[in-house]
Amino acid sequence: MTDQEFQIAVIAIVFGSIVSIAFIVTIGTIIKSFIKRKSGPNLADNEEFLDALRQFKQKTDRRLSNLEAIVVDNQPLKKQTKSIKSPEESKSIEIDEEKEANSSEGSLKNMLKE
C-alpha cells in the first residue's frame, strides 16, 4: 500500500464515521418525535391527575406529622419508665436503710425519710 492510498483510507474512515454519527443522531431524533406524538396528552395538562396528586401529598404530609407527634409523645414516656425504675431502686435502698436504722437510732430513720 502506498502512502497516497493510506491517506485516502484514513480520510474515508474519518468522514465515514462523521456521516454515520450524523445519520444515527437524525434517526434517533425522528424516533423520539414519533414516540412523543404517540404518547398522548401531557400529564401537566391533566387537572384530575394533578388534583389527585395534591390530595395524596396532603394526606402523606398529615400522616407524617401525626407519626412525628406520636414519636415525640413517646419520648417522654421512655423518660417516665426510667423514673419508675428509679423509685424501685430507691425502695431497695430504703429497705437497706431501714435495716441499718433498726440497728441504729430511730431519729436517723426519720431524718432519712425527710
Per-residue pLDDT of the chain (114 residues; tens, 9 = 90+): 788 899 999 999 999 999 999 999 999 999 998 888 877 666 667 788 888 999 999 999 999 999 888 888 876 544 545 445 455 555 555 555 445 545 545 555 555 555
Distance CA 64, CA 107 (A): 58
- Sign, CA torsion 63/69/74/75: positive
Are residue 83 and residue 56 in the same domain, yes or no? yes
Are residue 109 and residue 58 in the same domain, yes or no? yes
Are residue 64 and residue 93 in the same domain, yes or no? yes
Nearest to 70 by CA among 59, 82, 62: 62
Are residue 61 and residue 102 in the same domain, yes or no? yes
Is 46 a domain residue? no
Are residue 111 and residue 71 in the same domain, yes or no? yes
Domain residue limits at 36: 1-40
How high is the pLDDT of residue 39? 72
Is 21 a domain residue? yes
- Sign, CA torsion 78/84/89/90: positive
The number of distinct structural domains making up the chain is 2
